[in-house]
A = this chain, B = another copy of it.
Amino acid sequence: MESRTASDLTRLFNPRSVALIGASDNPSSIGGRTLANLVEHSDFHGQVHLVNARRERIGERPCYPSVKELPEVPEMVIVAVPAEAAVPALEDCGRLGVRYAVVFTSGFGEGGGEGIEYAERLRRVVAETGMRIYGPNCPGLCNVNERIGFTFSPSFRHDLRAGPIGLVTQGGGLGRNIMQAMDRGVGIGLWASTGNELDLQVADFVEAMADTPGIEVIAMLVEGINDGPRFVRAVQHAAARGKPIVAFKVGRSEYGSKAAQSHTASITGSAEVNSAVFRQLGIIEVDDIDELADTAWLLARAKPQPNPAGEPEPGFAVYCSSGGTTAMTADAIGLAKLTLAPFADGTTGVLRELLPSYASIVNPIDTTTAVLADDSLIEKTLLAVCRDPGVAMVVLPMALDYGEVTAVISRRVAAAQAQSEVPVVPIWMSERTGEGYRILRDAGIAPMRSVSKGVKALRRWVDYGRWLAAREPGFRPALLEAPTADADAPIRTLTELEGKTALRDAGIHVPMAQAARSRDEALSVAREARGPVVAKVLSPDIQHKSDVGGVRLDLSDDAAVGAAWDAIQAAVRKARPDARIDGVLIEPMAPQGGLELLVGISRDPVLGPMMTVGLGGIYVEIFHDVARRMLPLSAGEAKAMLRELQCHPLLAGARGQPPRDEAALVRLLVQVSDFVVARGAAIHEMDLNPVWVGREGEGAYPLDAVIVTR
């Protein structure tokens, strides 16, 4: 797994000099459009050089036949010529010491053929010269905050609302869709869309944007992550810089990942693993592209604060002049399990004084349309709500566009917002977007457009505050470590006895299991256990022992153990006549009434070793109630992981259930994590199922262990 550190990309966003290879005087060509964007629609103050062997000059500017003839070596080149010309030109650039190349050109292996070799040649340029290639097959770069466009897109000049969001996308079309959210007032300061990711990837731009002044939130649209370590490092860098990342990941279903693979070369990976890693790293995952802009915008407007578990969540206020709209917004807030702030007496006093008696002055507020008769009341009452000490944010749904009536409301809302640091978040629910809408947009408080999606964004904002508080800044995922095993070594499944022995040797408590090669030996081993035992078939060929009748429980005397021996032999021989049977394992029966969980380890090809914890037995397949983490696992993360489970009340002690030994379970999870991390890639997969969890003080330990190693 190659993992180069991103070089500083600051100068890529605003280089001292640029050469456009393939400059053209045809305004509809790629080269012509790029030139227009660069010299007409940008505020670019660097040198611009044109390369075109078939022209003397374009407009006032001289053309040069190649990069080699330019009067200086440009810091960056933009390549707008076909692949067969682009490759030698880029080889020249590398040799000359050009730092960055933005390559629009397609035909580098997306369709197979000679493009594969072209791509290989470019990779060699990168490796040998250190020149960074952005693309190929990319739509370029829009540095909106500095008004610089290295792009052929005719849209560049239309989508120039500066702002705090940095946008990184895989896919130019979807990226431009997000840029068009500018129409509703969302400001996007910088956009890169990574094309084929021959060199620079999403991760590199995330890392660079984390260091870009003026960018406060990073929005990311990804179909696949190629380089896990690079990705994780970039994300952790953004977190260290205090810049939240919001991500929309395409390819979460089979249809989606197939379609994504068919038009990119990315590895799309398991959606569940991706989502778990995102959550663990504090990446805020959204479910649709429109939610990406909404959520990023909310995070830019309202800086999330760490909100430790146990503390109450931030309180919201709902402010509206329509009863029905108030109710439906409060409803959405309730369904999202968010909190409406109870108002301080002072706030209620102001509202009581200013609003009519039939208004609702407790949160959620329905001012009624009475405020329209004296619209200064909107500003005064809204400001009172913003100033309430318990209110972190004011949600302001607007169901209707009533022309000037609504414009008046918007003016008052904007005026109140100008006097308060507490964010007012309008939700413009109507399809009609007239003057009232534009007032909000131009006041910098671009509304959301849907109550349910808006409230989802609020929920994510709150969750991010929780994550900030729980964040472990020193966390260094195991995938960042060098592999300690040969990735090509053969894969082998340990027998249960081997697996349990390995765990025990690592200090993990596992019930003593002993192999019995004969019926007599089984009897004598069982007698030594002094209590009921379990017998399980001992075979290198069988993993799912109970599926073949290879397990017998609760054997209390010789007769039971002997019968179990016979029954196991018969059942397994019948179900799997080919399997070698070495005898049985005898181990003490776990006490009745334990809770059974499963603990699994898998290895994602991109994101490294992951732990899965969930309710064991058949329930995992029915309810899919699992939590996942990248390793290594701290005790804090282990606890958080268990709290994430829907079945957590079974551990904590639900109605009539005893509290379980959660502390022992946490210890076990950390031990298993340490076991895996210490062995690096040598542990390919593990399945501890069930893990028995006793009552408080009784402990927690695996009753079975399947370990797959290299």
> Contact residues of A with B, CB < 8 Å?
110-111, 154-155, 169-174, 176-177, 180-184, 221, 223, 248, 250-260, 262-264, 287-291, 322-328, 330-335, 340, 357-358, 360, 364, 366, 399-402, 429-432, 449-453, 546-547, 618-619, 621-623, 625, 646-647, 649-650, 654-657
Of all chain B residues, the one with the shortest Cβ separation from A657 is B618
The 17 sampled A-B contact pairs (Cβ below 8 Å) are A171-B327, A176-B400, A177-B400, A180-B432, A182-B431, A183-B430, A221-B324, A250-B324, A250-B331, A253-B334, A255-B331, A256-B328, A257-B331, A259-B360, A260-B327, A262-B323, A618-B650
Chain B nearest CB from A342 CB (Å) reads 12
Q: Is the CB of A263 within 8 A of B360?
A: yes
* Contact yes or no, B173 A400, CB < 8 A: yes
How far apart sit A154 and B402, CA to CA, in the bound complex (Å)?
Answer: 9
Q: Select which of B181, B331, B450, B621 is within 8 A of A450 by beta carbon.
A: B450
Q: Which of A259, A290, A332, A401 has the most CB of B within 10 A?
A: A259
CA distance A325 to B326 in the complex (A): 35
Which residues does chain B contribute within 8 Å of A326, judged by CB atoms?
259, 263
Could you tell me the distance between the alpha carbons of A172 and B621 in the complex, rounded to whole angstroms?
Answer: 47
* In the complex with contacts A180-B430, A180-B432, A323-B173, A255-B330 CB distance below 8 A: yes
- Beta-carbon contact of B657 and A324 below 8 Å: no
- A172 contacts across to B, CB distance below 8 A: 324
User: Which residues in B have their C-beta under 8 angstroms from that of A431?
Assistant: 180-184
Partner of A360, one of B256, B262, B328, B453: B262
Q: Are A176 and B399 also in contact (CB < 8 A) when A324-B170, A331-B251, A340-B255 are? A: yes
Q: Which residues of B sit under 8 angstroms from A656, Cβ to Cβ?
A: 546-547, 618
Minimum CB–CB distance for A120 against chain B, Å: 20
Across the two chains, which residue of chain B brings its CB closest to A153?
A: B402
Other A-B pairs, 13, CB within 8 Å; known A262-B327, A263-B323, A623-B625: A154-B402, A174-B324, A180-B431, A223-B324, A223-B327, A250-B331, A252-B331, A254-B334, A259-B327, A259-B360, A259-B364, A547-B655, A622-B649
Q: Which of B223, B248, B327 contacts A251 (CB 8 A)?
A: B327
A402 CA to B331 CA in the complex, in Å?
Answer: 38
Task: Assess whether A330 is in contact with B174, with CB atoms less than 8 Å apart.
Answer: no
Copies of this chain assembled into the complex? 2
Would you call A259 and B330 a contact (CB within 8 A)? yes
A623 close to B650 (CB less than 8 A): no
How far is B340's CA from A64's CA once the two chains are assembled, in angstroms?
52
Separation of A505 and B52 alpha carbons in the complex (Å):
98
- CB within 8 Å for A288 and B452 given contacts A177-B430, A254-B334, A656-B546: yes
> Judging by beta carbons under 8 Å apart, are B288 and A451 in contact?
yes
Q: Kindly report which residue of chain B lies nearest to residue A260, judged by CB atoms.
A: B327
A111 CB contact (under 8 Å) in B170, B358, B623: B358
- Name the distance in Å between A670's Cβ and chain B's nearest Cβ: 25
Give the shortest distance, in Å, between A456 (CB) and chain B (any CB).
10
Residues of B within 8 A of A429 (CB): 177, 289-290
- Assess the A451–B649 pair: CB atoms within 8 A: no
State A399–B619 Cα separation when bound (angstroms). Answer: 41
Partner of A650, one of B250, B622, B647: B622
Question: Within 8 Å CB of A357, what residues of B?
Answer: 111
Q: Are A335 and B256 in contact (CB under 8 A)?
A: yes
Taking CB as reference atom, which chain B residue is nearest A107? B358
- Residue of B173, B252, B260, B327 near A335 (CB, 8 A) is B252
Within the complex, the shortest CB–CB distance from A617 to chain B, in Å, comes to 9
- Min Cβ gap A83→B in Å is 14
| Closest B residue to A175 using CB positions | B324
A623 to B328, CA, bound (A): 26
Top 4 closest pairs, chain A to chain B, by CB = A256-B331, A253-B334, A171-B324, A263-B323
A127–B707 alpha-carbon span in the complex (Å): 78
Chain B residues lying within 8 Å of A650, measured Cβ to Cβ, are 618, 622
Contact yes or no, B250 A328, CB < 8 A: yes
Q: Quick one: given A288-B452, A327-B251, are A649 and B625 in contact (CB under 8 Å)?
A: no
CB A230 to nearest CB in B, in angstroms, measures 22
B residues within 8 A CB of A400?
Answer: 173, 176-177, 180
Assess the A646–B618 pair: CB atoms within 8 A.
no
Which residues of B are found within 8 Å of A449, using beta-carbon distances? Answer: 449
Max count, chain B CB within 10 A of own CB: residue among A322, A323, A401, A450: A323
- Nearest-neighbor residue (CB-CB) of A358 within chain B: B111
Give A491 to B180 CA distance when docked, in angstroms: 62
| A331 in contact with B399 (CB, 8 Å) | no
Contact status A335-B253, CB under 8 Å: yes
The answer to whether A618 touches B654 (Cβ under 8 A) is yes
Are A332 and B288 interface neighbours, CB within 8 A?
Answer: yes
Q: Which residues of B contact A450 (CB under 8 A)?
A: 288, 290, 450, 453
Given the contacts A181-B431, A429-B177, A331 and B259 also touching, CB distance less than 8 Å: yes
Q: Are B289 and A174 in contact (CB under 8 A)?
A: no
Cα–Cα, bound, A546→B655 (Å): 11
Residue of B nearest to A112 (CB): B358
A265 CB to nearest chain B CB (Å): 12
Min CB gap A402→B, angstroms: 7
Contacts of A430 in B (CB 8 A): 177, 180, 183
